[in-house]
Amino acid sequence: MIPIKTLSKKNFKKYGLILEPQDKKRIFTVLCGDKGSKGWRIGYVMLGPEKVTSLEAHPESDETFEPVFGISILLVAEPKTPDKIEAFLLDKGVLVKKGVWHGLRVLSEKAGIKVTENYEVASVFHKLKKPIDINFV
């Protein structure tokens, strides 16, 4: 069983960053950017309590996950070790770095998550040795 961790700057740093002001004295803070990007898009993911059978990664795009409703878990793994998975309670927005393996799992009956990524996204997939099944509440 994979333990579910709470998000903190320290324990999520190798996968990305938490969407929060880096400088609390400033009104507006740019958290990331890509001058070479050809646009971006906002998506909305609606999830139910399905098992996670694979992880995906985007070699050329960062990606944000921002919870809208429900309770969900973000599963992540470093680019070279897709089977070494960590799980985080997705209770605030995060940015997942390019190439990081990721997947989502719901703990409530349903969950909605806002996703922002490059307009065109290349995806690669890693089939898990066994599905990740976390019961919903």
Question: What is the distance between the alpha carbons of residues 6 and 102, in angstroms, rounded to a whole number?
Answer: 16
Low-confidence residues in the chain, pLDDT < 50: 136-137
Question: What is the distance between the alpha carbons of residues 48 and 53, in angstroms, rounded to a whole number?
Answer: 14
Assigned fold of 4-21+40-132: Jelly Rolls (2.60.120)
Q: Is the pTM of this model over 0.85?
A: yes
Cβ contact 5:89 at 8 Å: yes
**pLDDT value at residue 136:** 41
3-state secondary structure 28-67: CCCCCCCCCCCCEEEEEEEECCCCEEEEEECCCCCEEEEE
- All structural domains of the chain with their residue ranges: 4-21+40-132
36-46: per-residue pLDDT in tens?
Answer: 667 888 899 99
* Structure tokens belonging to residue 39: 């646009």
